[in-house]
Structure 1
Amino acid sequence: MHFDPYSLMSVLAISGNFTSPSMFPPEHEYIAPGVHDKRSPCPALNALANHGFIPRDGRDISSHTLIQSTVEMYGLSVPLATTLVSGGMLCCGNVFTGIDLDDLAAHNKIEHDGSLVHADTKEGESRAPIHVDQALLTQLLTSYPNGLSLDDFAHARYEREKGLAKPLDPFHAELGHGEASLTWLLMKNASNVVPIETLRQWYGEERFPDSYVIPQETIGFMDAAGLSRKIADKMKELRRGDRGD
């Protein structure tokens, strides 16, 4: 499958004129991946592929395509998007030839154990599970029936990491904080809570949720770092409480 470069113009048009999935044109409707399509452990990238904002087959995706799509569809600043994409390319892909989405499943590069909805990598395996673990997803959704606040995301990450055989190193722990905080920032409603149905569609189906609205304000480094720090601080507080400090 070859990706039409002009589809990037569609990304620009949608982000400027259509702010939610119900307004996406037919070429960007949700289509679940086929058996030969590549996907990653990242719902944000998989949603872009499942809606056709990056190649639906998940293959040979350029840095430019990833940066453009994350800027336009998730409201990330160009510097933040460039940093995230460049990190993935340097660790798992090729800055010249691009990346297949499943390259991002390489264990302990960008991917890490302790995902909220993906099983941990088995001992001796070099690649992480890509498919959503339905037991973990169900546990997450039933544990927070009223949706997840930022503190709830911190609690969910804390509970998930408590069960790991080996604690995450600081780099991957910080990635976990960032993933949770960006999910909250992108998917929260007016009450600053991510509803359960939104999470089910985002994490479970890897699609843009019906409630999703493309951010009108750019998300920059300071926004992402500040929320990530709040997640980390809340997790430290929970650890102290468990220890009785």
Structure 2
Amino acid sequence: MSSYGAFYSTNPKTHSTYGVPPEHPPISDSQTCPMSFAHNLMKSSLARCEHEYAPPKKSDVRSVCPALNTMANHGYIPRDGRNLTFFTIFYGLKACYGLSTPLAIVLTLGGYLLIGRLPICLPFNVPKRFAVRNPDGSTSQPGVLDLRLIDRHGGVEHDASLVHADCPSNLKYPNIEINHDWVENLVGDVLPEVRGYGRTNAACSAHIKDVKEDDASPPSLITPRLGIINHSRAPSSCSSETIVGDDDGDFDEGWRRYATKEYLNTLVSAADVGRMRARREREIAPKVMDPVHAEIARGEMAIILGVWERSVRIKDDGKVKKGIPLPYLLTWLGEERLPEGWKPDHVHGLWAVVKMSKAIKSTADAVVKARSY
């Protein structure tokens, strides 16, 4: 209930509502201090604004990790992406996504170790000789990272990203630009086939059926792709209301046509993600992902699947499908933002991620095996 609703509610108020002892005589709303109410209302509003989405500024630092970038864009870690410590990331993961303590520890500690850093901070006034030299030549305090440092190629960062190009062999850090064509391609990996996708984008995924001439898209739906957007440039024009708002027909470009309320019951399952992973790993051939980074790639998606998972009955066959809303995934990968008004409603644990990752791998392996025949 909003602060306005709570203030004007007809429900009886308890003594704890006003912070007085149980033996205090009953207090009516008319006897409460207006200034106290205004203070509480302001605190509530500030709490909501604290984690509102704000696109990165030109001076902010970002990575190729949508989970961390989203945390920065919503203020769960510093919005500039700098001065990150073990506990900054650890508590940010728990608050933003509702991760369990063991899972948040594994992710944070693993991230440090994979990029060759220890999560041990020293006072900021220690001599410069204690500073750590980074692969790009810069230096930083022990235990302190920024989002760019986390991008070190071959650490947490890996090839065959769903929405980022591979890091060139002569560079230590990848390009952080999001390929919005690739975001839209993910829609083609979802089964049952997403309504409207085959008509407008038949060539994006190998398993999508050929489109018949009489099923062509109306001209109003055939629009230019959005291509690549750089984090350091102007933010997307998509507002948080549009992402899960009503489809008014003015927002049909690229993947964003599928990021509306109309598609909230279109779910992306572990099997769908398995097809995404198999396709992307096939597309980087002859390069092959090593087992560690293949597991990292599956694990990062297994986490978000568990955070937003729900069930929907499929109309055509009556079967129940588990997964996350397609608009949630596309917005998270394409805009690096949380769904409008969403807050964690459960604790997501390590064992659940392991099981989800195995389910993703099972489908990915089956796709690879089927194509080998």
Task: Say whether the fold is shared (TM-score over 0.5).
Answer: yes
AA aligned opposite 1:91: L
AA aligned opposite 1:80: L
Once the two structures are superposed, the pairs formed by residues 50-199 of structure 1 within 5 Å of their partners are 50-92=73-115, 93-95=117-119, 96=121, 97-144=143-190, 145=194, 146-165=266-285, 166-191=287-312, 192-199=322-329
Given the alignment, which residue of 223, 227, 231 partners 2:360? 231
Deviation readout 1:60-114 (Å, 9 max, x if unpaired): 1111111112112212111111111011122335522321011111111110011
Alpha-carbon separation, structure 1, partners of 2:325 and 2:155? 30
- Label 1:70 to 1:150 Cα distance change in 2 as closer, same or farther (>3 A): same
Does 2:349 align with 1:220? yes
Structure index of larger Rg: 2
Q: Which runs of 5+ in 1 are unaligned?
A: 1-22
Report the structure, 1 or 2, having the larger strand content: 2
- Is the contact made by 1:54 and 1:66 (CA closer than 8 Å) also made in structure 2? yes
Deviation readout 1:138-178 (Å, 9 max, x if unpaired): 21135533442210010111011111131100000111111
- Label 1:80 to 1:239 Cα distance change in 2 as closer, same or farther (>3 A): same
AA aligned opposite 1:157: R
Give the ranges of 4+ consecutive aligned residues of structure 1 lying more than 6 Å apart after TM superposition: none
Alpha-carbon separation, structure 2, partners of 1:167 and 1:100? 29
Deviation at 1:134, TM superposition (A): 1.4
Per chain length, whose mean CA-contact separation is higher, i.e. which structure has more relative contact order (CA < 8 Å, sep 6+)?
1
Match of 2:51 in 1: 28
Moved more, 54-63 or 137-146: 137-146
- Is the contact made by 2:332 and 2:338 (CA closer than 8 Å) also made in structure 1? yes
Match of 1:45 in 2: 68
Percent identical across equivalent pairs?
A: 33
The alignment of Structure 1 onto Structure 2 pairs a total of residues equal to: 222
Alpha-carbon separation, structure 1, partners of 2:341 and 2:311? 11
Deviation at 1:193, TM superposition (A): 2.7
Alpha-carbon separation, structure 2, partners of 1:36 and 1:132? 18
Moved more, 55-64 or 219-228: 219-228
Alpha-carbon separation, structure 2, partners of 1:37 and 1:60? 12
Given the alignment, which residue of 200, 205, 216 partners 2:330? 200
Moved more, 152-161 or 220-229: 220-229
Alpha-carbon separation, structure 2, partners of 1:94 and 1:133? 32
AA aligned opposite 2:165: A
Question: What is the CA RMSD across the aligned residues, in angstroms?
Answer: 2.0
- Label 1:69 to 1:63 Cα distance change in 2 as closer, same or farther (>3 A): same
Report the structure, 1 or 2, having the larger helix content: 1
Deviation at 1:196, TM superposition (A): 2.6
Deviation at 1:39, TM superposition (A): 0.9
Moved more, 66-75 or 162-171: 66-75
TM-score, structure 2 length as denominator?
Answer: 0.56
Match of 1:14 in 2: none
- Is the contact made by 2:72 and 2:78 (CA closer than 8 Å) also made in structure 1? yes
Q: Which runs of 5+ in 2 are unaligned?
A: 1-45, 122-142, 195-265, 313-321
TM-score, structure 1 length as denominator?
Answer: 0.84
Q: Report SS of the residue matched to 1:25.
A: helix
- Is the contact made by 2:189 and 2:273 (CA closer than 8 Å) also made in structure 1? no
Alpha-carbon separation, structure 1, partners of 2:329 and 2:71? 16
